[in-house]
Amino acid sequence: LTEFAKCIPGFVDLFLNDQVTLLKYGVHEAIFAMLPSLMNKDGLLVANGKGFVTREFLRSLRKPFSEIMEPKFEFAVKFNALELDDSDLALFVAAIILCGDRPGLMNVKEVEQSQDNILQALDLHLQANHSDSAYLFPKLLQKMADLRQLVTENVQLVQKIKKTESE
């Protein structure tokens, strides 16, 4: 993700501390945005596409482990329905990384301007490549909020697992 971020226009011009902050807070959202490309409603590709873990198998695990992947599947099914290509996804992930409301940013205005530029590029790109999907851009903006919620829930679940396993 770091190498990808360095290719985002303006990213390397930000303060180094801001770059680290953006990556630290954006990494899970970015990963969860890319995860649907390995998923369908029935399961998840693993081992570089050489294996497949079924959704039913993951559901069969004991709680709380069985609960960890189900929200990602629900998100993935809806996200995959948007039929994004790699270039759409790259711009979307760049917009996720350049989020100006991350705690501890030193130069919020510059980050927000960079994100605004990426969002404008994403909007134009979607208009050109998905002219039949008039509401795709607002749907992706909503997915950014959904990803943030997904990460929050994931952190809570991981904390629950740590607590359960230490008892």
Taking the C-alpha atoms of residue 69 and residue 49, their distance in angstroms, rounded to an integer, is 18
Confidence grade of residue 87 (pLDDT, cut at 50, 70, 90): very high
Q: Tokens 């902050």 appear where? A: 21
- For 100-137, how does the pLDDT look when each residue is reduced to its tens digit (9 = 90+)? 999 999 999 999 999 999 999 999 999 999 999 989 99
Beta carbons within 8 Å of 92's beta carbon, 6+ residues apart: 33, 84, 122, 140, 143, 144
| DSSP E strand stretches across the chain | 39-40, 43-46, 51-54
pLDDT(2) > 90? yes
Residue 106 and residue 117 in contact, taking contact as beta carbons nearer than 8 Å: no
Over residues 15-27, mean pLDDT: 97
Q: Which pair of tokens denotes residue 68?
A: 């960890």
Q: Which pair of tokens denotes residue 133?
A: 């999907």
Task: Give the whole-number percent of the chain exceeding pLDDT 90.
Answer: 85
Domain spans, the chain:
2-162
Which CATH code fits 2-162?
1.10.565.10
Q: What is the pTM of this model?
A: 0.90
Q: Tokens 């050109």 appear where? A: 128
Task: Give the whole-number percent of the chain exceeding pLDDT 70.
Answer: 99
Q: Which of 64-68, 82-86, 122-126 has the lowest mean pLDDT?
A: 64-68
